[in-house]
Amino acid sequence: MKKTIIKITLFCTLVFSMFSCKKSIDDAYKNPNAPVRVPVEELLPQMISAMAANYAGHGTMNDIRYIGAYVQNWQFYNPLSNYDQMGYTNTSGDVGQSTWRMHYYDIGQNNVRMMEWAAEEKKWDYVGVGKAIFAWSWLTLTDYHGDVILDEAFRTDLITFKYNTQDEVYAHVKNLCFEALDFLGRTGDGVSQANLAKGDAYFYNGDVQKWKKFVYGVLARYYNHQSNKTTYKADSVIYYANLAMASNADNAAVKFEANLLSATNNFFGPFRGNLAGTGATAPTAIRQGRYIANLENGTNSEFSGVPDPRAWYMLRGNTNGTIVGVEPNKGQTVITANDRPENFWGTSQAAAANNTGSNANCRFIFRDNAQFPIMTAAEMKFLVAEAAFRKGDKPTAYQAYKDGISLHFDMLSTVYSFGIPAGKEITALNKAAYLANPAIVPVLSADLTMTKIMLQKYIAMFGHGILETWVDMRRYHYVDTYAGLPVYRDFVVPTGGDLFPDNAGKLVYRVRPRFNSEYVWNINELIRIGATLNDYHTKEMWFSLP
The pLDDT confidence band at residue 151, using thresholds 50, 70 and 90, is very high
Distance CA 465, CA 467 (A): 6
Q: What is the mean pLDDT of residues 65-94?
A: 92
Per residue in 444-459, pLDDT (tens digit) is 999 999 999 999 999 9
pLDDT for 30 equals 61
* Beta strand spans in 74-119 (E): 74-76
The pLDDT confidence band at residue 80, using thresholds 50, 70 and 90, is confident
Q: Report which of 465, 343, 459, 350 is spatially closest to residue 405, judged by C-alpha positions.
A: 459
pLDDT for 1 equals 35
Contact 365, 348 (CB under 8 A): no
Q: Report which of 20, 29, 33, 34 is spatially closest to residue 1, judged by C-alpha positions.
A: 29
Average pLDDT across the chain, whole number? 92
Q: Which domains occur in the chain, in start order?
A: 35-546 (1.25.40.390)
Per residue in 231-263, pLDDT (tens digit) is 999 999 999 999 999 999 999 999 999 999 998
pLDDT for 28 equals 55
Whether residue 210 has pLDDT greater than 50: yes
Could you tell me where the DSSP H helices lie in 185-233? 193-199, 208-224
What is the SS3 string spanning 294-348? Answer: HHHHCCCHHHCCCCCCCHHHHCCCCCCCCCCCECCCCCHHHCCHHHCCCCCCCCC
Per residue in 474-506, pLDDT (tens digit) is 999 999 999 999 999 999 999 999 999 999 999
* Beta strand spans in 410-498 (E): 481-482, 485-486
Q: Percent of the chain beyond pLDDT 70?
A: 91
What does the buried/exposed string (b/e) look like for 138-147 if buried means 16 or more CB atoms within 10 Å of the residue's CB? bbbbbbbbbb
pLDDT for 93 equals 83
Per residue in 30-76, pLDDT (tens digit) is 656 655 789 999 999 999 999 999 988 889 999 999 999 999 999 99
Per residue in 252-303, pLDDT (tens digit) is 999 999 999 998 999 999 999 888 864 444 445 899 999 999 999 999 999 9
Whether residue 161 has pLDDT greater than 50: yes
Provide φ and ψ at 148, rounded to 5°.
-140, 175
Whether residue 4 has pLDDT greater than 50: no
CB atoms within 10 A of CB 383: 26
Distance CA 221, CA 218 (A): 5
Whether residue 15 has pLDDT greater than 70: no
Whether residue 10 has pLDDT greater than 50: no
* Residue 84 backbone class (left: φ over 0; alpha: ψ -120 to 50; beta: rest): alpha
pLDDT for 257 equals 94
Q: Rounded to the nearest 5 degrees, what angle is found at the Cα of 349, between the Cα atoms of 348 and 350? A: 95
pLDDT for 175 equals 98
The pLDDT confidence band at residue 350, using thresholds 50, 70 and 90, is confident
Contact 304, 298 (CB under 8 A): yes
Q: pTM to 2 decimals? A: 0.93
